[in-house]
Copies of this chain bind each other. A is one copy, B any other.
């Protein structure tokens, strides 16, 4: 009998009818002989509603109490799913994070899992129960309830699979991982498999199907992940280590993100202290920057550009005032209508010419790019948002994504 960890996200359990549907799928799978550990998220938009309650009592809610509040969402789903299974004749037990032995750092709203006392889950599996675990939560060494941050249920599922040394199946409202967002490029092809590394580059760049931390964890412990539609009716995508049976594509996927703005600071006196000051202040203000580029110094001055999340705009405006007071000569430009477009593929490591091919596509189609950064398996550009669709279509066609 094999063991599998499954995870169902918020949209998969958003109504009582959906919970009943999932229970039937689980019953079928259990009947087929599998040991099941099932991680669930909060129902639909429950977490958002709870956050709204918190924001109504405090502009800066206590994080410890926020975790206590938010963890109830998953607790409710897990209790309801276990009840439903028992109602249709399958023994099940619902466990909160602490009952499932999920130990985390003593850090609130985005704690990391330190360890799982996996015997708690194993003992219930031995009793032939379907074990339902409230995702997204754990307990710290002082007995405080912690949460793992948005998408934390993915991490819960992968961590349990790592401890149980079994595969992890993540059921969601999409059919799997696509090489490019089908909403932008209708001819997009679903991938049968993708390597951990490629998925990591794609996840952090906007393909919001699975939490990046969960993929990192899966990669570390070699947990094979299967992502598929929550109806179980269509084949999905495997995320696993690349093996020889997989054809190595040059470009596996293409992602875009409109979530960032681009800040350019012109005429910064070329002094390492100045540049260091800017990036230090950004870090101190907890502004998560990306796509840093700097021109070579001309007449003792440099221009610096970086992208940052649009929701940190107010913080950036504050910093702009601060910088202007400190560095007289600088000029600051903030562009909001930009899109980050990235192509990802393990093949880039061994096959050259991808960058050249991309530059040619941009040039042939008259698409201006503002910045370019590269990693071993990724090339990213910032372009004007108005050019996004054209760029996606041309690249996807050219690389058959």
Residues of A within 8 A of B (CB): 16, 19-20, 50, 53-54, 56-62, 64-66, 68-69, 71-72, 75-76, 78-80, 82-84, 86-87, 93-94, 96, 98-99, 143-145
CA of A96 to CA of B72, assembled, Å: 11
Query: Residue A69 contacts which of B71, B80, B86, B93 (CB distance < 8 angstroms)?
Result: B80
Copies of this subunit: 2
In addition to A57-B80, A72-B76, A98-B143, 8 A-B residue pairs with Cβ atoms within 8 Å of each other are A54-B79, A58-B84, A58-B86, A58-B87, A65-B79, A66-B79, A69-B80, A72-B75
**A67 CB, nearest partner CB in chain B, Å:** 8
CA of A68 to CA of B56, assembled, Å: 26
**Are B80 and A16 in contact, with the CB atoms below 8 A?**
no
Give chain A's interface secondary structure class.
helix
Tell me which residues across on chain B come within 8 A of A66, comparing CB atoms: 79, 83
By beta carbon, the residue of chain B nearest A75 is: B72
Query: Residue A16 contacts which of B53, B76, B144 (CB distance < 8 angstroms)?
Result: B53
7 tightest A-B contacts by CB? A58-B87, A72-B72, A69-B79, A68-B79, A65-B79, A57-B84, A16-B56
**A146 CB, nearest partner CB in chain B, Å:** 13
CA of A57 to CA of B18, assembled, Å: 11
Tell me which residues across on chain B come within 8 A of A50, comparing CB atoms: 76
What are 18 A-B contacts with C-beta separation under 8 Å?
A: A16-B53, A16-B57, A53-B80, A54-B83, A57-B80, A57-B83, A57-B84, A58-B84, A60-B87, A62-B83, A64-B93, A65-B94, A66-B83, A68-B75, A69-B76, A69-B79, A72-B72, A75-B75
**Are B94 and A68 in contact, with the CB atoms below 8 A?**
yes
Tell me which residues across on chain B come within 8 A of A71, comparing CB atoms: 75
CA of A56 to CA of B96, assembled, Å: 21
By beta carbon, the residue of chain B nearest A145 is: B96
CA of A298 to CA of B237, assembled, Å: 83
**A109 CB, nearest partner CB in chain B, Å:** 13
CA of A94 to CA of B93, assembled, Å: 26
**A280 CB, nearest partner CB in chain B, Å:** 30
Known: A58-B83, A86-B58. A68 touches B96 (CB 8 A): yes
CA of A35 to CA of B178, assembled, Å: 58
**A269 CB, nearest partner CB in chain B, Å:** 43
Query: Residue A143 contacts which of B59, B61, B86, B99 (CB distance < 8 angstroms)?
Result: B99
CA of A76 to CA of B19, assembled, Å: 23
**A157 CB, nearest partner CB in chain B, Å:** 20
CA of A64 to CA of B129, assembled, Å: 14
CA of A57 to CA of B94, assembled, Å: 15
**A145 CB, nearest partner CB in chain B, Å:** 7
Query: Residue A82 contacts which of B62, B78, B79, B94 (CB distance < 8 angstroms)?
Result: B62
CA of A65 to CA of B65, assembled, Å: 23
Known: A69-B80, A94-B65. A57 touches B143 (CB 8 A): no
By beta carbon, the residue of chain B nearest A87 is: B58
CA of A16 to CA of B83, assembled, Å: 31
Tell me which residues across on chain B come within 8 A of A93, comparing CB atoms: 64
